[in-house]
Structure 1
Amino acid sequence: MRLPRRGWPPPLLLPFLLLLGPARPFKLNVPKVLLPFSRALHVPFVLEAEGGCTCIYSHILVTGHLLRCDIIVDMINNIEIISRTREIYVEDSPLELTVRALDVEGNTFSSLSGMTFEWSIAKDDDMEGLELSSKIRILKYSEAEYSPPDYIVEMEQAEKQGDRILVSGIKTGAAIIKVRIQEPTYKKVAAALVRLLVLENIFLIPSYDIYLLVGAYIKYQVAKIVQGKITGKFFF
């Protein structure tokens, strides 16, 4: 285990689990774990044993195999918001946003479980005069048909926000989502921002290529989809 650099406060005890299954596992699922330093809580990470191993961490008496995983504790240098897309549709399924934390060398932390974050809708300079919540809103997992990790469920029950949230589009336009670490230890770590576009989910009918003779014409329909259902058609 590598402890924080000289001058940093000593870390709290780090809870991590080594799961040994019945199928004679000889390898850990990760060779190295990077966990954030925290004064307020323990950030857990689960180690699972698999087949084959080259490092030393735990001695299995029955087989004689040795397992190892380096546990590194370091300070968070900056955070980012990870999203599978930057575009969401009005009244469509929510989009999940997650936090990725990195150390000063750019390494990604293995877990942020249980750490408290503050998510908010930030002001967009290009959309002055509009209410911050007019385009997008932040949802709890309990408000949507999603199954988050257990620690997120516990945090929501305690009225806290974790390293992941859901957002839903209300009206077309642009919105900025902002997140920062709430723990005082990281008050100097800059907040992360992501700009999302909220669009109408519309399409043409027919939506395939059309080949016409000279002088022929065809009427198109514009349809709108809301929550997987076609809600309206317009001719032109």
Structure 2
Amino acid sequence: MLGSMAALYKSLLPIILQISLSFASKLNAPKVLLPYYSTVATNFTLEASDGCFTWRSTRPEVATVQIIPLHHGKECSNKAVVTAISTQPNKLTSIILAEEQETGQMLRCDVIVDRIHSITVETTTRELYLEDSPESFEIKALDDELNTFSSLEGEEFDWTLVNDPESDVPAATILR
């Protein structure tokens, strides 16, 4: 009898582990790449899939973490804002740790703070016509290894219109 119970337990253990892992909380981003603080701090919102977490940064001089409170007065949340505050133009890292209050489950996000090496503007098309609906532009920043930055929130860009050398019409009269 004892042997059959042990065999049953042994056969059910992988299934129990699989079920418990499927209910485990996860972060929306296991790694985050943010630009260093040159003129403005850049933010990224981390979100845990389930639970109420306390958050901390292993290197607050590189990146800080601030909870977004779910309930007034609670010290835990499933959301937090990570802010790159390093002013060094070289690559630095910090780890953001989130601990679930009831279960003690730990979640980890590696935060890399580095300088922007290049910026691209992504659009649906390179040609715009007067009668078209407005076109959306997306700014994408890359580091020197061509990794895409997770967020540029807070970064400011100066946009200028350049005249087409093959046209007599100034760009400022047809675009805004």
| Pairing 1:67–2:103 present | no
The residue that corresponds to 2:169 in the other structure is 130
Residue from 158, 163, 166 that aligns with 1:118: 158
Q: Is the 8 A contact 1:77 1:102 kept in 2?
A: yes
Query: Alignment RMSD, CA only?
Result: 2.2
Letter in 2 for 1:50: S
Question: How far apart, CA to CA, are the structure 2 residues paired with 1:65 and 1:35?
Answer: 26
Partner secondary structure for residue 133 of structure 1: helix
Residue 50 of structure 1 pairs with residue 90 of structure 2? no
TM-score with structure 2 setting the length: 0.56
Is residue 36 from structure 1 mapped to residue 35 from structure 2 by the alignment? Answer: yes
Superposed counterparts of 1:100-119, under 5 Å: 100-119=140-159
Query: What is the distance in 1 between the residues matched to 2:117 and 2:96?
Result: 29
Query: Equivalent residues in 2 for 1:196-211 (5 A)?
Result: none
Higher relative contact order (CA 8 A, sep 6+): 2
Instruction: Report deviation, 1:25.
Output: 6.2
Q: Distance in 2 between matches of 1:81 and 1:103?
A: 15
Whole-angstrom CA distance in 2 between matches of 1:102 and 1:124: 28
Give 5+ residue unaligned stretches, structure 1. 1-23, 139-236
Contact 1:25 1:49 survives alignment (8 Å): no
**C-alpha distance in 1 between matches for 2:24 and 2:122:** 33
In structure 1, the partner of 2:128 is 88
CA distance in 1, matches of 2:27, 2:35: 21
**Which of 97, 116, 121 is the matching residue for 1:76?**
116
State, as a whole percentage, how many aligned pairs show the same letter. Answer: 44
TM-score when normalising by structure 1: 0.43
Q: Where in structure 2 are there 5+ consecutive unaligned residues?
A: 1-22, 51-94
Give how far 1:56 is off: 8.0
Contact 1:56 1:66 in 2 (8 A): no
- Which one has a larger percent strand, Structure 1 or Structure 2? 1
